[in-house]
Amino acid sequence: MKYIAVDESFFDKLLLKAYPATKTPCPGCLKKDLTEDDFEPDETLGDGTPEKGETDHRKKLLAALMAFWIAGKVAITQPNVETEMQKAADDYVKEVTPQLKTNIEKQYTRGVREANGYIKGAGLAALPTPDTGRETALIKQQLNNAQDIADRVTSKVGLQVQFNNVQDFYATHESEVNIDGIFQEAINRSESMGIYGYVEAYKGGALDQYQNAITAYNIEIKIPWTTCEDNGNCDSDSPPCGECTDNAIDGPYSPDEFPESHDKCRCNVPMAEPVITGFAMSEPATAESE
């Protein structure tokens, strides 16, 4: 994965390009370099090939993490390491917060809109966006994940600095902080966070709206589980796993019984056309037309 390693020569290139004389860190100034250079999300992660929207979302998250990484590499050279690392961590969380929120809102709305399309296709009126709390919960979960990534990085750097200070007291050489190794884990978690938020918000919006229609119209809705193989977007190196294949065989499911996805799962993108049956009442007065 090309974005995993930032060697010293590339690091120096970024700093020298931003501030040739002083090498003063400026994550905001470096962002243009980080997004233009070849830092691409790992498309081999998970089942199936990611949509462009998912890839773009993860790329923005990685760009923010790269700025954090570079600020961290500068921070560990300063006498007040902990203070500088905390500032870099706070900047990272501030940077990714609007991206995480926007992604959840956009994908949840996409799922609701898609479900409304099938509801209208069955001869019923589209319904307003449901207020189930799922969208808010997903945003909170994503923001908590981002904060945890930042906290773990700063904590591990702090522990290494303290350990190295003790070692340096007895040693004749200066110990180094393995900040690159620390950020390896952060990259993996960022990638998982990006995939999960993109897929789960879309799926959640559709499932919530189907449940909304069941309540409003007193109908039955069953949704098949579709694997990447069903959707024709399987990567040759990542066919559907046994768990997802079983889910497809055991379906279709009602919205409240739809199986949970495993880590980095891209099944149900897009979701299958639902089976809608049992029309028993007229359209509700609150229905929206689209």
Which tens digit of pLDDT belongs to each residue from 133-150? 999 999 999 999 999 999
Q: What is the pTM of this model?
A: 0.80
Strands 275-277 and 220-222, bridge-based pairing: antiparallel
76, 154 contact by CB (below 8 A)? no
Helix (H, G, I), strand (E, B) or coil at 122: coil
| Residues 31-44 pLDDT 10s | 444 444 445 677 66
Q: How far apart are CA 214 and CA 208, in angstroms?
A: 10
Judged against a pLDDT cut of 50, whether residue 172 lies above it is answered with no
Task: Express each pLDDT in 83-128 by its tens digit.
Answer: 988 999 999 999 999 999 999 999 999 999 999 999 999 999 999 9
Read off the tokens for 192: 């998982």
pLDDT tens profile 205-250: 999 999 999 999 999 999 999 987 777 766 656 677 889 999 999 9
**The pLDDT of residue 150:** 96
The amino acid that residue 42 corresponds to is D
Residue 20's pLDDT is 46
Q: Given this model, what pLDDT does residue 288 score? A: 44
147 is written with which tokens? Answer: 């904060």
For residue 70, what pLDDT is reported? 87
**Which alpha helices (H) appear in the chain, and where do they start and end?**
8-18, 27-36, 52-75, 81-121, 134-170, 179-217, 228-231, 242-250
Residue 286 predicted with pLDDT over 60: no
**Per-residue pLDDT tens over the stretch 43-73:** 667 667 889 999 999 999 998 998 898 888 8
Centre a 10 Å sphere on the Cβ of residue 271 and count the other Cβ atoms it contains: 23
Asked if residues 71 and 14 have their Cβ atoms less than 8 Å apart, the reply is no
Q: With 50 as the cut, is the pLDDT of residue 287 above it?
A: no
Q: Please give the structure tokens belonging to residue 19.
A: 């501030």
The per-residue pLDDT for 236 is: 56
Which pLDDT value is given to residue 100? 98
Residue whose tokens read 């870099």 = 88
268 Rama sector, left if φ>0, alpha if ψ -120 to 50, beta otherwise: left
> What are the tens digits of pLDDT across the range 260-270?
988 888 899 99
Q: Give the residue with greater pLDDT, 252 vs 38.
A: 252
